Chain A
Amino acid sequence: AQKITQTQPGMFVQEKEAVTLDCTYDTSDPSYGLFWYKQPSSGEMIFLIYQGSYDQQNATEGRYSLNFQKARKSANLVISASQLGDSAMYFCAMRAFYLKVTFGTGTKLQVIP
C-alpha cells in the first residue's frame, strides 16, 4: 500500500516571503518518485518538481525546491519569494509499485499582498 499525507489544509504567506508545504509518505516500494503539482482555481494541474527515491540531491526548479528527507519519509515543497500568482492548491503525489500514482489531499496556499 502507499499513502501520501498533507497535514496543512490551508496556509497563508506574505508576498516575497518563503513558505514550506509539508508532505509525508509511506510505501514499501524501495523505488518511488515524488511529485508536486499546483492547481489554480481554473482546475488545471501544473507540474512543479520531481524527486526520485535514489536521487542524492534535493530537486530544485526555479523558485521551487523539494526538501527530501528519506529517513523521515518527508518531501516538503519550499516556495521562495512568494508571488500573488502562487495562490492555489498544491498537491504532493507519489509514484510507487511501477506506475501507480497517488495524491495527497492538498494544501490551499494564499499569498497576502
Chain B
Amino acid sequence: DGGITQSPKYLFRKEGQNVTLSCEQNLNHDAMYWYRQDPGQGLRLIYYSQIVNDFQKGDIAEGYSVSREKKESFPLTVTSAQKNPTAFYLCASSPDRTGNQPQHFGDGTRLSIL
C-alpha cells in the first residue's frame, strides 16, 4: 500500500550531535512537509518543499536543514544548533501543487536528548 514512512520511530541525540530523520513516500506526491509537535501542542511548520531541489523555510526553521534530491524523499537534519530538539516530528505530503488536497502524514519520529 502507498503511504509515508518515517524512520526511526524513536531517536536519541547526544549533545552537539547532528541527527537525520528519514521520510519516504510512495504516493507520487509533489509537496512534502516537516512539522514539530511538542507535548500537548499543535504542529509547527519547519520546512516544506513543492518540487524536487526546492524547499522553503517554515515558521521554526532555525537549527534544522532539509534536502529534496528525489521526489519521494525529504530527510530532515536536526543540527547541534537546535538547542531544544526533544519533540515529536511529523512528515507529511500532499498530492498536488494547488494545495486543495489534504496532507497525508507519517507515523512520526520521537526525538529525545541523552
**With an 8 A cutoff between CB atoms, is A40 at the interface?**
no
**For this complex, into which size category does the number of interface residues on chain A fall?**
20 to 34
Residue of B33, B42, B56, B105 ringed by the most chain A CB atoms within 10 A: B42
A-chain residues with CB within 8 Å of residue B58 when the two chains form the complex = 100, 102
CB pair B41–A47 under 8 Å, yes or no, is: no
CB pair A33–B103 under 8 Å, yes or no, is: no
Q: How far is the CA of A98 from the CA of B56 in the complex (A)?
A: 11
**With an 8 A cutoff between CB atoms, is A112 at the interface?**
no
Select from chain B the residue with minimum beta-carbon distance to A55.
B100
Which of B11-19, B63-71, B78-86, B88-96 is the interface stretch?
B88-96
CB pair B102–A99 under 8 Å, yes or no, is: no
Q: How far is the CA of A50 from the CA of B59 in the complex (A)?
A: 23
Select from chain B the residue with minimum beta-carbon distance to A52.
B100
Residue in contact with B102 in the complex, picked from A6, A35, A103, A105, CB distance below 8 Å: A35
Contact flag A91-B42 (CB < 8 Å), given A45-B92, A98-B99: yes
CB pair B92–A106 under 8 Å, yes or no, is: no
Residue in contact with A43 in the complex, picked from B41, B59, B94, B107, CB distance below 8 Å: B107
Contact flag A106-B108 (CB < 8 Å), given A47-B103, A99-B99: no
**With an 8 A cutoff between CB atoms, is B45 at the interface?**
yes
**With an 8 A cutoff between CB atoms, is B43 at the interface?**
yes
Q: How far is the CA of A50 from the CA of B108 in the complex (A)?
A: 23
Residue of A45, A50, A93 ringed by the most chain B CB atoms within 10 A: A45
CB pair A33–B100 under 8 Å, yes or no, is: yes
CB pair B56–A91 under 8 Å, yes or no, is: no
CB pair B105–A45 under 8 Å, yes or no, is: yes
B-chain residues with CB within 8 Å of residue A91 when the two chains form the complex = 42-43
CB pair B50–A99 under 8 Å, yes or no, is: yes
CB pair B41–A106 under 8 Å, yes or no, is: yes
Ordered by A's residue number, 6 sampled pairs between the chains whose C-beta atoms are within 8 Å are A6-B42, A45-B103, A93-B43, A99-B99, A101-B92, A104-B42
6 further A-B contacts with Cβ under 8 Å, apart from A33-B99, A98-B99, are: A93-B43, A100-B45, A101-B92, A101-B94, A101-B99, A106-B42
